[in-house]
Structure 1
Amino acid sequence: MPVKDLPLSFRFGVFFFVGGLVPNPIDIRFQKVSGLGATVSLKTHAEGGQNLYTHRFPETIGYQNLVLERSAPLISPLDIEFNISLSLFKFSASNVLVTLFDDSGAPTAGWMFLNTYPVRWATSDLDAGQNGVVIDTMELAYTRMQIMRL
C-alpha cells in the first residue's frame, strides 16, 4: 500500500453531542487527542493439580480516559460545561465522536465515546520567559467506546 493511501493522524475532528444528540459546532478543533484505547482485564483460574499453567478468562473491559488538548479559547460551550461540572459538581453526560479524515475531507475512521463526563481540566503553565500558546487539557471518562472503520 503506498504511503499516500495510509491514514494520517493530523486530519481529525472532535464532535460533542449536546444532550447526546445535537452536535456542538463550535468545539471541534483540537490539536491533540489521546486515550483511544481499551483493555480487557483477565481473571485467572488455577485448575486443581495443574501446576504448569492457569486458565485466563476475560472479565471486564477497561478504558483509558479521553484526553483532548487545544489552545485556550476565550469562551466556548465546552468550557462552560466543564466549569459547571468541576465547580458546581453537576455532570451532564454527552457523547463524543472523534473522526479521522482523508486528504479530501472524507471520514475514514471514527471512535464514538458514550456517556462522557469531565474528570480533569488543566491549563498550561503561564511563563513570562516563554513565547508559547496557552493550552487547555481536558480529560473525559466514559462508559463505552465504539470503533468505526469506514
Structure 2
Amino acid sequence: MSNAFPIPALSLTENPPVGCYFMVTFLIGGFLPNLLDIRFQSVSGISSTMETTEIREGGENLFSLKLPTRMTYGNLVLTRGMVVGSPLNVEFNLAMSTMSFQPGNVLVMLLNAKDTPVASWLFQETFPVQWSVSDLNADQSAIMIDSMELNYARLQSLRI
C-alpha cells in the first residue's frame, strides 16, 4: 500500500531552521509578487488561536466540555529600514489616509542558509491597521524604521 502523503525522512544530524533567513512577499491582486518590497528586518504576529465554547452537562459537576467555535489571529507586524519611493508605502499611505482598502495576500517564507524555502505562511485578505515610523532624534544617527501592522482573515501554514 502506497502512502499518498510520504513522510520525509528525519535526520538527527540536521539542525532546526533558524529565524534569521526569511522573505516577505506582498502578492499584487492576490497572486503576483511585488519584488520591490521583500526585505524586512523582523516579522511577528504569526499566530492563531482556536476559540472554544464551554458546555456544562446537567448533573455532571466533575468536568465540562469545550467545543471549538472559531479561529482568531493576531496582527502581522513587519519592520524594515525606511524605503523611499516604495510602492508598498504608497499603498499604505493611500489606505490609511482615504480609508480605501483592497485586501491582499502576504507570503512569509522561512529560508535556509542557501536561500531555499523550508516553511511558508500565507496571510489572506490582509489590510493595514497601523503604520509608524521611528522617532526623529538629532542626538542619534540611527536608521529610520518603518513598522507596518496588518490584520488578516486567515492564516495558512505551508510546510515545504
TM-score band, normalised by shorter chain:
over 0.9
Identity of aligned residues (%): 43
Amino acid at match of 1:37: S
TM-score scaled by structure 1?
A: 0.96
Q: What SS class does the counterpart of residue 5 from structure 1 fall into?
A: coil
Q: Deviations over 1:35-80 (max 9, x none)?
A: 0110001100111111121110101100001000001111211101
Equivalent position to 2:70, from 60, 66, 73: 60
Which residue of 93, 96, 101 maps to 2:106? 96
Pairing partner for 2:60 from 43, 46, 50: 50
Say if 2:142 is the partner of 1:128. Answer: no
- After TM superposition, the structure 1 = structure 2 runs for residues 10-25 of structure 1, keeping only pairs within 5 Å, are 10-25=20-35
Q: Which runs of 5+ in 1 are unaligned?
A: none
Distance in 2 separating the partners of 1:77 and 1:37? 27
CA–CA separation in structure 2 for the residues paired with 1:75 and 1:140: 20
CA RMSD, 1 decimal: 1.0
Q: Which protein is bigger by CA-based radius of gyration? A: 2
Map of 1:113 onto structure 2: 123
CA distance in 1, matches of 2:90, 2:102: 12
For structure 2, the residue ranges without an aligned partner over 5 or more in a row are 1-11
Letter in 2 for 1:85: A
Aligned length: 149
How far off its partner does 1:5 sit? Answer: 2.9
TM-score, length of structure 2 as denominator length: 0.90
- List structure 1 segments (4+ residues) > 4 angstroms apart after TM superposition: none
Indicate yes or no: 2:154 matched with 1:144: yes
| Secondary structure in structure 1 of the residue aligned to 2:142 | coil
